[in-house]
């Protein structure tokens, strides 16, 4: 059985957040980790990447993805968490 993590991309859309939930269930079923990724081209467009001063530090895409993971994985708190490098 593969020990590689399940990898899912998220962009904040409803469908990508649903995919995070599906991926969390799949990772739990496989007994492996979950890696949620997000990529963008802003650096190529010379957009500054510093922290948004007006943003809620506990909110945003990361918080949405974590909530989807918790809803998708079995067990209290979203199931097991594993880190893969």
Structural domain includes residue 51: yes
* Residue 82 confidence (pLDDT) above 80: no
Distance from C-alpha of 21 to C-alpha of 73, rounded to nearest angstrom: 7
Structural domain includes residue 72: yes
Distance from C-alpha of 52 to C-alpha of 67, rounded to nearest angstrom: 21
30-52, pLDDT tens digit by residue? Answer: 999 999 998 877 777 777 766 66
When divided into structural domains, the chain yields a total of: 1
State the average pLDDT over residues 57-83: 67
Structural domain includes residue 17: yes
User: Any bridge partners for residue 34, and if so which?
Assistant: 6
Domain that holds residue 16: 6-78
């Amino acid at each position: 059985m593969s020990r590689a993590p399940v990898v899912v991309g998220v962009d904040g859309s409803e469908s990508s957040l649903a995919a995070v939930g599906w991926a969390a269930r799949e990772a739990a079923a496989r007994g492996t980790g979950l890696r949620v990724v997000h990529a963008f081209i802003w650096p190529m467009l010379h957009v500054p990447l510093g922290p948004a001063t007006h943003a809620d530090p506990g909110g945003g895409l990361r918080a949405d993805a974590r909530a989807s993971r918790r809803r998708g994985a079995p067990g209290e708190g979203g199931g097991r968490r594993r880190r893969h490098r």
